[in-house]
Amino acid sequence: MPSNKRPKDNKSTSEVYTPPNNETNMAEGTGNNVTLTELTRALGELRVAIAEDLKATIAELDTKIESTIRTVASQGQSIVDLEKASEFNAGRIDELEMLCTSLQDNVQRLSVKVVDLEGRSRRHNLCVVGLAEGVEAGSRPTDFFAKLLKDAMGPDVLASDPLVDRAHRALVPVPGPGQRPRPVIICCHSFKTKDLILREARMRGNLLHKGHPFRVYEDYAPDVAKHRAGYRDVMTKLYKLHLHPALLFPARLRITPPSGEKIWLSSVLDAEKFVREYTPIPRTVWKGDSADG
């Protein structure tokens, strides 16, 4: 007869009950489903936020791009306007350059004419240098200087007082004590008389008035006088070389070497170059050549 007693289990009743594996997996699946739902919801919210930020950024970029396009278009129009203005101004500049060149030529030509006219207006003038200030005081300058010239030249040159139209000191400030006296400008009525006095003064050099020396020169215009003064040093060198230099009006240098051929030099630089390159001919050769001739 079978027994109703249940066989004893070797395991202790105090041990914890462990559910089957399928129950555990179901519990874990329920927890994972809750986390994924929340994560999906968070990702959706993040996607919406990013999309809104991108839309705002793209809208801002569109606005900036449109503004940049308008600016570029405006600058492009400005560049076109500047190019047109530049072309117009370039044409105007060419016209002005041509006009300036023409005006410079006219000024140069007129300056030459003015110097020539001023020189012609002084053709009857003499420039007396070295007379003390005030020697003509108390008498008419024309009468005083006419008598002075006659006394200085002597009766062999001037039989009577020359006819003087004007006589005055140079129009510069009165010099102080110890300073050089102002030149005297004398306008002779006759060019022949003026030329005679000038040639005699050149031959004599210093003339005397009451024991005081003075000199008589041609009255040149300031520009001509300045130009001629530049030849002073080279003229001295040419005289030492016995080349018989002559400075003609307004400032043309003529040299006459022993051969007799006349050489014309138009500037001081040309004259200095001629002096540097010139080889003097011994005077004995000159004499021999003249003797053979």
| C-alpha distances out from residue 185 to 4, 17, 83, 114, 119, Å | 175, 150, 63, 20, 14
Q: From 106, 84, 103, select the one nearest 95 (Cα to Cα).
A: 103
DSSP symbol at 250: T
Q: Can you give the C-alpha Rg of the chain in angstroms?
A: 57
More confident residue, 265 or 2: 265
Own/partner pairs for 227-230, CB < 8 Å, 24+ apart?
227/251, 230/268
pLDDT at residue 291 in the model: 39
The answer to whether residues 123 and 220 touch, using CB atoms and an 8 Å cutoff, is no
The reported pLDDT for the residue numbered 14 is 42
| 277 closest CA partner among 241, 244, 230 | 241
Is pLDDT above 80 for 58? Answer: yes
Q: Which residue type occupies 13?
A: T
pLDDT value at position 75? Answer: 86
Query: Could you tell me which residue, 11 or 197, shows the higher pLDDT?
Result: 197
Each residue's pLDDT tens digit, 171-202:
999 999 889 999 999 999 999 999 999 999 98
Helix, strand, or coil (residue 37):
helix
pLDDT of residue 163: 95
Amino acid identity for residue 37 in this structure: T
pLDDT of residue 18: 47
Q: Per residue in 70-109, pLDDT tens?
A: 888 888 888 888 888 888 899 899 999 999 999 999 999 9
Confidence of residue 281 (pLDDT cuts 50, 70, 90): low
Using CA atoms, how far apart are residues 253 and 238, in angstroms rounded to an integer? Answer: 11
Query: pTM above the 0.75 mark?
Result: no
Of the pLDDT bands very low, low, confident and very high (cuts 50, 70, 90), residue 283 is low
Instruction: Please name which of 152, 175, 172, 171 lies closest in space to residue 162, comparing C-alpha atoms.
Output: 152
User: What confidence category does residue 215 fall into, taking pLDDT thresholds of 50, 70 and 90?
Assistant: very high
pLDDT of 64 above 80: yes
Q: Residue range 260-270: average pLDDT? A: 87
Distance CA 6, CA 157 (A): 186
Q: What is the mean pLDDT of residues 49-54?
A: 89
The pLDDT score that the predictor gives to residue 225 is 87
Write phi, then psi, for 240 (nearest 5 degrees). Answer: -65, -30
Residue 33's pLDDT band, with cuts at 50, 70 and 90, is low
From the list 96, 219, 201, the residue with the least C-alpha distance to 153 is: 201
- Give the model's pLDDT for residue 292: 40
Strands 184-188, 164-169: pairing kind: antiparallel
| Residue 155: alpha-carbon gap to chain centroid | 58
The Cβ of residue 224 has, within 10 Å, a number of other Cβ atoms equal to: 19
